[in-house]
Structure 1
Amino acid sequence: MVTVRRSIVDEPRPADAAPVGRLDCALAGAFALALTIEAVARPDLTWRPLVTVLALALLPALLWRRRWPLAAVLLGWGVAGLLSLLQLATGSGDLGPYSMMADLILLYALVRWGSGRELAWGTTFVAAVVALGMYAASAGWADIFGGSVLLLLCVALAAVFRYRADLWHRQQREIRNQERVALARELHDIVAHHVSAIAVQAQAGRVVAAFQPDKAAEVLASIESEASRTLAEMRTMVRVLREPEAATYQPQRGVADLPALARADRTPTVEVSLDGSSDGALTRLARPVDAAVYRLAQESLTNAVRHARHATRVGIDVRWEGDAVRLRVSDDGRHEPGPAPAPGFGLLGMAERAQLLGGSLSAGPGPEGGWVVEAVLPAEVLA
């Protein structure tokens, strides 16, 4: 129990708190308008000028409730506690305007965006203010029960949204980690292939050196070239994570294998275009980039076949542009009007793979309809 309590108290703030925006300003404006209307329309409200001025303190609290949730709660609910104290001291009637219900928004913000310590201090303060208010108003059991249920519902709603957001971020991190693991395993296989080639050439060099010393220099040059490529790809490999599992050494598919994805006998048809293969440029891609282009094209094609509506054609286009290689996968399917849907975990994984290699990936509706996935990767992996 002590361990669980400590873990809750030590919980940090969520990382998805948005800055002050237009909706926050609209909320503060709506509160100020409601408070002004209530101050004019309720002549029974005791000490209307003082109560109105004190209630206006909620305006900055509403604006900054996500950035400083504990301070917002202390300010907003502190005003409510002060009004309860004035009611007790003067024996006056109800001093709280109905617009003070905005304090519930501050309580929601505390549970949704506060840290564990802020949550503990804030909820304790709110409970004390609520108890003081009920005592000052001589609330009956029905009012106490109803008020308590309302507060608990607000806390529960904030906790649910906080849990959902945390689960989403965890899934994103898991996708990124899985992509790092897959890329690291591919790089491991590539480096293992190079090292095996170096070992074979070194063994051959020992034999050749005994009978043809002039050929030994060629073997050494080949070993040097292979070792340099291996070192460059090894530097890339150490930047990503890899599970401590035995990997199966096998050649990785690359740009040269993309034509095998083409098909004309089924719908949608798949067309593959490799611009730069005539002079061998695409065949000189670094192995990790070569494998990544194939994987991104394969994943994009799979998504198009599964999800594109009424698509008849999918095009895969790979071009060499300066020091980078550009992959474009497009289909002619229908896209629903409106904003583009949020990226799924597949697209997140593809984007993570591109970023790990120093490139970028974008996906969205095409200018002429359909869906377009475009990736730009450096021809040489960043070390």
Structure 2
Amino acid sequence: MPAVSMASGMLKRRHVVRVVVGLFAFVFDLFLWQGAVTTPGGAVLPVWLVPAALISAYAVLLIQRRIWIGFSVFLLISLLGLAVASIVGIVGTYMAFFLMVRHSSTRVANTALAGMILPVFVATYSSVSYDGRSEDLLGLMAWNIGFYAAVAFLCYFAARTQRRTEHRLQTERRWADAALEEARAGERLRISRDLHDSVAHSMTAVVLQVAGVRAILKKGAEFEKVDPVLADIQVTAEQSMRELHRLLGMLRSEEESQVGQSHSFDDIPSLVSSAQDSGLDVVVTCNGEAQMLDPSISHAGYRVVQEGLSNAMKHGGEGCRVEIATHWMPTELTISVTSISGVAKRPAVSGGFGLLGLRERVGVSGGSLSHGPTPGGYLLKASLPVDKPEDASASDQRSTHTAKTQEAS
């Protein structure tokens, strides 16, 4: 619920900002229009035609969820510049173009950039035709084309940069939330084990002791007075133990569902793809023959790559390059994530799990983790154990034996 309300609040703020910017753009378009209604042939158009067309275009852009519709309407509105002695709707066209590039894929954004040729041409034609000067016509055309095209490219690169930045922040937050939930699940499992090792065993001891006291007191003279009380204690202790096992079962079932949904080493390509969509340059190399991994080790390998990419996105800066290298050996898997820092730096987003938790996870899995700065960036390297093929069956037998022991207990 808090995440939904937060997302709803962000959407409302974005809509308010878009409306305010749209009002300023509309006023600026009216200023550039300056009430011109005369056509090149000398005819006079209705005065209300241009403002009504602009109002309709802005309404479509601000109300319609599909931004490409508003962008297409503004492309049509820009054609009014061929009919009146003024530039019509150029500011709204740039606004629609920015939103189009901001919320679309790269292919759609490039298509919209190509579509900006039309308003740039119309604006240049209007500026040259109604300027009233005939000298240096080519220079005037070149200046206008360069100016309008430069503004279009500026909108394009600003929108793509904002899209990549937001996508990167969303990816970091999603990874941080997943790591935080993983930490919480681990804490729940730890509490479950502590309860089982302390409370459950203590209650079992109480039951056995009470049963022994009853057996001893049966030989005494006052058995009839003590037995009802001890019987009640025994019944209560047994009920408490059953309730405790029920609660422990709920905790463990929740934890098992979390573990079942955890990522594995095979999910690294999707992780890399998500980072690349955020604008990060990632190169992956693999040496050796891949082998089957224990689920915990497989998840640890995934977390190493995730942490390396997350740190590169937070601290590497624009233009950062990440090289992920995996080296398979008969008994060991080595994963190294090397980040080569970019030029521009930006504030980091708090993760919450970090290298400390990753070191603990890798250590529990029987591996080792090392990290530190390099001359050009940062290196995160992990070594994880890989079971030999002949050890796989033995490992399965140990797992089966452990499961049977737990069921018996």
TM-score by length of 2: 0.43
Larger radius of gyration: 2
Taking structure 1 as the reference length, the TM-score comes to 0.45
Higher RCO structure, 1 or 2 (CA under 8 Å, sep 6+): 1
